[in-house]
Chains A and B, each alone.
Chain A
Amino acid sequence: MFNHHTPGELILPTRRKFLQQLGHGFGSVALASMLNEQTRAASTASAVNPLLARPPGFAPRAKAVIWLFMTGAPSHMDTFDYKPELQKRNGEVLPGNDPKTGFFKTSGKILKSPFGWNQHGQSGTWVSDILPNLARHVDDMTFIHSCFVKGNNHAPAAIELMCGTNIPGRPSAGAWITYGLGSENQNLPAFVVMHDRKPRGDDQIWSAGFLPKTYQALALDARRKETIDNLVRAKEETDEQQRAALELLRDVNSTHAQARPSQADLAARINSFELAYRMQTAAPEALDYQGESEATKKLYGLGNKTTETFGRQCLLARRLIERGVRYIQIFAGRGTSGDGSVDDVPWDGHDNIETNHRSCAAATDQPAAALLADLKARGLLDSTLVIWGGEFGRTSDSQGTRGRDHNPHAFTIWMAGGGTRGGGFHYGATDEFGYKAVENKVHANDLHATILHLMGLDHEKLTYRFNGRDFRLTDVGGHVLRDIIA
């Protein structure tokens, strides 16, 4: 099923033997020295390559995560959190409205959802009519309606949702998971981020923070043709020339390393050139989706201007997890143009929730649904945790007359596959207006604890000591949401 450990082209037939020789007598210049103060047990093998796959703490339910991040924050009351009271009491004063909730200023008056709503699936889950494709998959989803964060602006909230607190500088979940589990495919990075225009907060959102850079994300920019820096061999160089260079390099680096037998990182370095060479082939292969069938391309919405970008990203996500990438984050980019959405926070419907959300939904609905369908058809959904949601929710009262402001107190995230309960299960709830989460409130720390758990990691044990403190992704909080696990 999984095609991990792709052997790749062994350019150096003696490589294994050579590494064995090097490994012998390395003693325990531990991972700890290379990885600073890492607490996980070290081995010579992982000293040579810290990205070698490591077993999880217990049996994992998910092997990979794909987080479809709806940048800019969709309104939960206009997507998956149906609130009849809003429809009934449109224009009335919102009880308990608090001017400190939003980022700007809200009217205090209830704004009904401008969209039609219908029930779907066996579970009868309500979904607004802007997401017709995702609506067909509600029975695979588990809805968490009671999410909240502390930050009430995009970057701090996105940092909080990715890194556990809203102060920049902590490693993101993807980096933590890579640190905890290593990489299944040595020719590809374990942690991949895809974005169009960079989301607000930029690289801080997927930072490796104080973890070694080994665990940092590879960011693929949808606007660029060559998406991995320096991946392609120089134009003037032939493969034969490069191989000759690598052979000489291995030779001199081996001599150098053998004269310094106590330094394991020198052996790792020799290995890294071989990995690099194989990446030159493996990564373009993974990223080249042209060989996919026309039906698949159509399923993801390729060839359609509206869905092209997000569709391509979703398709690549599937290709990457098939090849052993563990953690993928896609930051949804701009919607269809002319709707007033801002490129770096497209779902940010301050002015007009209707036009903004229609456009953003149009760009993402079909591809996201295609990803679920495709993963399921290939038997990958069981081992892949798909997460959908933004950095916070939006206010139940209007901003201006038709928009909605930021609302950190309530939003909906759904998960599918990867050991989650599914069946259209609804966890937690907001009040009757969707204004605040009131039942089984779920913070980013709880989401992270749950994600780590599904990946086979105990969030209280996955720690890294930095500046005198054992840090964890979940900071000082986090509860595994056992109710949503199958």
Chain B
Amino acid sequence: MAKTTDLKTNWGRLARCTFSATAWIALLAAPAFFAAEPATPSPEGIAFFEKKIRPVLAESCYKCHSQAAKDQGKLKGGLFLDTREGVLAGGDTGPSVVPGKPDASLLVKAVRWSSPDLEMPPKHKLPDPVIADFGKWVELGAPDPRSGPKGSAKREINLAQGREFRSFKPLARVAPPAVKNTAWARTPVDRFVLAKQEAAGVTPSAPVSRAKLARRAYFDLTGLPPSPEELDEFLKDQSSDAFAKLVDRLLASPRYGERWGRHWLDLVRYAESGGYEFDGYRNGAYHYRNWVIRALNDDMAYSDFIRWQLAGDKIAPGKYEGAAATGFLVAGPYPGQLTAKTEERIRYDQLDDMLSTIGSSMLGLTVECVRCHDHKYDPIPQTDYYALAAAFAKTVHGTQQLAPDPVVPKAEIEAHRTTLESLVVALRKYETNQLPDRLEKWSEKERVKKPAPAPRWQTLEVIEASGQQVEIETRPDGVVAFVARSKPDPKRPAPAAGKDDPDNLSYTVIAHTLQTNLAAVRLDALADKKLPKSGPGLADDGSFNLTEFSVTASPLKAGDKSASVKLKLTAGQARFAEKEMPIANAVDGKPATGWRAKDKPGVENGAVFVIAGGFAGFEGGTVLTFRADFRTDVIGRLRLALSTGPIPAPTNDAAGKPAEGSDIFAGGTDFQHARELRALLDGKLVEAHRSDAVRWFSRLDEPTKKVLNAVGDHARKVPQPKLTEVYTAVGGGRDVFLLRRGEVDSKEGKAAPGFIQVLATKEPGRWLTPPERDPRLALGDWLADAEGGAGHLLARVFVNRVWKHHFGRGIVATSNDFGAQGAAPTHPELLDHLAGEFIRGGWKLKPLHRLLMLTAAYQQGAEANAQNQQRDPDNKLLWQQPAQRLEAEAIRDALLSVGEKLDPKMYGPAENTVESPRRSVYLRVRRSELIPFLTLFDAPDATRSIGDRGATTLPSQALTLLNSPFVRDIAARLAKRALVKGATPEAAIDQVFQIAFSRPPTDAERAKFGGYFSRQKELLGAADPKLAAGAAEKALAATCLVALASSEFIYID
């Protein structure tokens, strides 16, 4: 089999099933076989092997290179030296022996220790005579009597079998089972739960109290406690659907997206900095966080939620939302300093970060293992990994300037227009009242001056310029500059036949002149460092290809009905041109031919075109319309000039360059304004010339300039949508290759986009068609395709996550691992039922919450039950709802909330300080400087997808709750809040319980807390009698601190 296997062609083969996928994978990964069967070994050869070679192999090599080593998991490099086949076939780096050629045999090289990367045995070099024996043995043709097949380094991957695994099977549609206790099971979900309990002799717990249920729902959906008023409102509602209404209310709260957005951010290793060396902060990274919150609040279908994150920039090109969503792809760590040595490896690390995050967060699969070898436990061959990676070949980290809100408010536009109008009125007044006098004074001075010899060329001021398929800008010095290529305007009427050539780009430039006897025009193509190779053209080599150039003259004076004249241009001189592409091509009327100079990058070019027979000009002024057409490669910086003669006859040398002494570019250049004004004042200032005159005069006269600029400056400041930097996936990157053992210097075939085969039962073209379709869009479709793609697993993994957050543990306990190493589902039918419901419901998340929260299972309490405890100690059968510890962010937010310090403001850039009163989801996530309060309570370190946070218990948490200024401040605030509501300290303590625990204290608690309060007050007074006055409030704050530090505050029943 050819080594340069093209994965794409193999896709085709695979689909046609000409041989099994497994065989194909094995072949692809195996090194080239050597066809020649070794000649029958001589008895002497065999004897040599038995005496000199076999004992050494057994002693020094088999430990890592034999079937026995493989069985112990110690096989190295895929190499088996315990059979002849194994020796000849070799391992990951190719055949170990080329019979007859010791110097070409890796085995010999390895024992000789001739390359530092290949030294075997690794720790101790063999004695020199033994090394020599190996050379001799290979020279003899490597005689080897050992028979038997080469061991297989690979676990055989059988896709058909793989699809039988629980997570890769299509969703089963199982009817909810029958149960005995029909009264308890209020929803089909409950029947799945109860049936298992009944089978195991376990009984569900009684429902939790309504107050506790509400508290649970508030924390589950919003991450915040209910206020006493909110709780009261719910408790008063005695209707049967009161809880359903509460759930709906909470789902509609903007706090919901903040709470569940944070869960999602765990999965996608969200941070706002690059990690590694300097941990550069990414100013535009937070948009992704906001997008997630918004999408959840909007109840975006989960399938779309996935699609946007993978390819938002393709779904909505150039749009803020698209770029913000694809922040997902680039949220991972990425080194700030790169060198040639590390660049390529880091590129593959970057791809691996994207793939492993997609694998863990969306599919619950560990795909990063497959970077180096076929998956050890799941049916994912290495080729699948690189097929996935290929979808990201043209995806790298970057930023874009985009408008979150592309619509400019009408009022703003209106205000701008009003101001502009008043400025224009002022300008008109100036033109009428002051300009004539000033002009007159200037011209009086001019008339008495002795006229200086006029330069040959006058640079033309650009009155108007436009581009076809190019965006341009004009500059006061007469330069027309290329800004960007633009797509054809869809609103523009279809161009005439032959003109809709997408490669035809053009500039149209309008200038005015009042002068007469026009002799020649000149076009300068300027160099600029911002252009490729510093220009002057946009081609990669810095050249341009001007295919046609024309000038049309028409009368300037209003009412002049004279016909426009297309001036007849002849080739004058070019600064540079290729022999086959002289400037004559630009005035030959043939769009196929053009003027180009390829070998002059970074040097100004130009051409002079002589107007055949000259042009007299129109009386009252001429409008000159220049048009320059290009074949793709436009001039980057273009300037036009005019000469009224006389023009020497141009003579060019063979290369088209000006011959010695006939350089008609020479002769000096100035701007046209002074001569235009003189021409103008030879006549009389008429209305038609007024605006030209103002402009030209403004170059000479400061007051005129001021007035004109005031208008111009304001006119340019048309209100624009505000742009912001978005850190997102951008184009770039290179082809992706399959890397043997994941090493960048072991490239095999170029990888073509594809999918995880075990999750693709249909032809991959289904998602990739048409072939030029963006592979990231295809990836999203495959992921969400529950029929032939990965949709069933996508749904299983996600509903399991939602379940986990509501029930404390997932149906699959390893929420990021649905592979063979992961936990088996406790309720597989229920998992499939939920995933099916989820898909049938349009992948909507909010109905899923509702479905789960309205079950009897969710609404259980946690009862001590010895029998249940004994039969199901881990509560796998959900006979109770144990208290769950709040996550770090919810602890901080709950503290802010009870202290009435929480600022509910949404979105915006990250908050730089932990002192910020905003919700924790808005705090800065900088990889090297995580927020201690949050990490203390198990917030992730944002380098990998985290499916299941721990909930550790540490003395440092206790220290923070007891001693930190933050918590003590909250306690003081809570005390004040409670005192406002309860006039007496006793009543205030009741309030503290209501606020912190959503319940009143029991009598015993009242007594304990009351006693503590009195004791604190006494101790305070004793410490400092002067403080006795404020002691009540302080003692209450101390009481509040105990409440906040207590388990009940952060463990939600």
Instruction: Give the B-binding residues of A (Cβ under 8 A).
Output: 25, 27-30, 33-37, 50, 100-101, 103, 151-156, 159, 167-169, 200-204, 207-210, 212-214, 216, 218, 228-234, 236-238, 240-242, 244-245, 248-249, 251-253, 256-257, 259-263, 265-266, 268-273, 275-277, 279-280, 436, 438, 440-441, 465-469, 479
Q: Which residues from A are CB-within-8-Å of B342?
A: 151-153
Judged by a CB distance under 8 angstroms, whether B1038 is at the interface is yes
Chain A minimum-CB-distance residue to B884: A263
Q: Which residues from B are CB-within-8-Å of A233?
A: 962-963
The 5 closest A-B pairs by CB, nearest first: A169-B943, A202-B928, A468-B817, A276-B958, A468-B366
Q: Which residues from A are CB-within-8-Å of B277?
A: 153-156, 200-201
Q: Are B962 and A242 in contact (CB under 8 A)?
A: yes
Judged by a CB distance under 8 angstroms, whether B333 is at the interface is yes
Chain B minimum-CB-distance residue to A265: B953
Chain B minimum-CB-distance residue to A47: B953
Q: How far does the Cβ of A350 sit from chain B's closest Cβ, in whole Å?
A: 13
Q: Are B1019 and A467 in contact (CB under 8 A)?
A: no
Judged by a CB distance under 8 angstroms, whether B704 is at the interface is no
* Cα–Cα, bound, A213→B885 (Å): 15
Q: Which residues from A are CB-within-8-Å of B281?
A: none
Q: Are A244 and B1012 in contact (CB under 8 A)?
A: yes
Q: Which residues from A are CB-within-8-Å of B946?
A: 210
Chain B minimum-CB-distance residue to A238: B1023
Q: How far does the Cβ of A461 sit from chain B's closest Cβ, in whole Å?
A: 12
Q: Are B952 and A50 in contact (CB under 8 A)?
A: yes
A-B contact pairs, 20 of them (CB 8 A): A30-B874, A34-B951, A151-B342, A153-B276, A153-B277, A153-B337, A208-B941, A212-B952, A213-B936, A218-B956, A244-B1019, A259-B864, A260-B1051, A262-B873, A262-B880, A275-B958, A467-B360, A467-B817, A467-B944, A468-B814
Q: Which residues from A are CB-within-8-Å of B335?
A: 153, 155-156
Q: Which residues from B are CB-within-8-Å of A212?
A: 938, 950, 952
Q: Which residues from A are CB-within-8-Å of B959?
A: 228-231, 276, 279-280
* Cα–Cα, bound, A216→B957 (Å): 13
- State which of A30, A218, A248, A468 has its C-beta within 8 Å of the C-beta of B1008: A248
Q: Are A203 and B929 in contact (CB under 8 A)?
A: yes
A-B contact count (CB 8 A): 235
Query: Which of B2-10, B96-104, B1042-1050 is near enough to bind chain A?
Result: B1042-1050
- With A100-B340, A103-B339, A262-B873 as known contacts, state yes or no: A252 contacts B954, CB within 8 Å: no
* Cα–Cα, bound, A272→B369 (Å): 38
Q: Which residues from B are CB-within-8-Å of A50?
A: 952
Q: Which residues from A are CB-within-8-Å of B960?
A: 229-230
Q: How far does the Cβ of B105 sit from chain A's closest Cβ, in whole Å?
A: 23
Q: Are A203 and B930 in contact (CB under 8 A)?
A: yes
Q: Are B929 and A214 in contact (CB under 8 A)?
A: no
Judged by a CB distance under 8 angstroms, whether B935 is at the interface is yes
* Cα–Cα, bound, A385→B929 (Å): 30
- State which of B377, B950, B1042, B1047 has its C-beta within 8 Å of the C-beta of A256: B1047
* Cα–Cα, bound, A465→B816 (Å): 11
For the residues of B in contact with A, the DSSP-based class is: loop
Q: Are A253 and B1047 in contact (CB under 8 A)?
A: yes
* Cα–Cα, bound, A213→B116 (Å): 40
Judged by a CB distance under 8 angstroms, whether B442 is at the interface is no
Q: How far does the Cβ of A200 sit from chain B's closest Cβ, in whole Å?
A: 6
Q: Which residues from A are CB-within-8-Å of B957?
A: 272
Q: Are A209 and B941 in contact (CB under 8 A)?
A: yes
* Cα–Cα, bound, A217→B738 (Å): 39
- State which of B275, B963, B1046 has its C-beta within 8 Å of the C-beta of A230: B963
Q: Are B963 and A231 in contact (CB under 8 A)?
A: yes
Q: Are A248 and B927 in contact (CB under 8 A)?
A: no
- With A272-B955, A468-B819 as known contacts, state yes or no: A262 contacts B862, CB within 8 Å: yes
Judged by a CB distance under 8 angstroms, whether B714 is at the interface is no
Chain B minimum-CB-distance residue to A466: B944
Chain A minimum-CB-distance residue to B875: A262
Chain A minimum-CB-distance residue to B964: A230
Q: Are A245 and B1041 in contact (CB under 8 A)?
A: yes
Q: Are B1008 and A252 in contact (CB under 8 A)?
A: yes
- With A36-B950, A467-B944, A468-B366 as known contacts, state yes or no: A248 contacts B964, CB within 8 Å: no
Chain B, interface size category, equals 35 or more
Judged by a CB distance under 8 angstroms, whether B349 is at the interface is yes
Q: Which residues from A are CB-within-8-Å of B809?
A: 33
* Cα–Cα, bound, A169→B368 (Å): 14
Chain B minimum-CB-distance residue to A33: B874
Interface residues of B in 909-949 (CB under 8 A from A): 927-930, 932, 935-938, 941, 943-948
* Cα–Cα, bound, A50→B952 (Å): 9
Q: How far does the Cβ of B140 sit from chain A's closest Cβ, in whole Å?
A: 32
Q: Which residues from A are CB-within-8-Å of B1048?
A: 252, 256
**6 further interface pairs, Cβ-Cβ under 8 Å (given A233-B963, A469-B369):** A36-B950, A156-B277, A230-B962, A248-B1042, A262-B882, A273-B958
Q: Are A252 and B275 in contact (CB under 8 A)?
A: no
Q: How far does the Cβ of A307 sit from chain B's closest Cβ, in whole Å?
A: 28
Judged by a CB distance under 8 angstroms, whether B585 is at the interface is no
Chain B minimum-CB-distance residue to A38: B950
Chain A minimum-CB-distance residue to B367: A468
Interface centre among B340, B349, B817, by most chain A C-beta atoms within 10 angstroms, is B817
Judged by a CB distance under 8 angstroms, whether B968 is at the interface is yes
- State which of A29, A200, A259 has its C-beta within 8 Å of the C-beta of B278: A200
Q: Which residues from B are CB-within-8-Å of A245?
A: 962, 1012, 1016, 1038, 1041-1042, 1045
* Cα–Cα, bound, A188→B957 (Å): 14
Q: Which residues from B are CB-within-8-Å of A253?
A: 1046-1047
Q: How far does the Cβ of B924 sit from chain A's closest Cβ, in whole Å?
A: 14
Q: Which residues from A are CB-within-8-Å of B962?
A: 230, 233, 242, 245, 273, 276
- With A100-B341, A252-B1008, A275-B958 as known contacts, state yes or no: A203 contacts B968, CB within 8 Å: no
* Cα–Cα, bound, A74→B247 (Å): 62
Judged by a CB distance under 8 angstroms, whether B123 is at the interface is yes
* Cα–Cα, bound, A36→B952 (Å): 10
* Cα–Cα, bound, A156→B1009 (Å): 53
Q: Which residues from A are CB-within-8-Å of B670?
A: none
Q: Are A248 and B948 in contact (CB under 8 A)?
A: no
Q: Which residues from A are CB-within-8-Å of B958?
A: 272-273, 275-277
* Cα–Cα, bound, A372→B292 (Å): 54
- State which of B366, B869, B927 has its C-beta within 8 Å of the C-beta of A262: B869
Interface residues of B in 957-1002 (CB under 8 A from A): 957-960, 962-965, 968
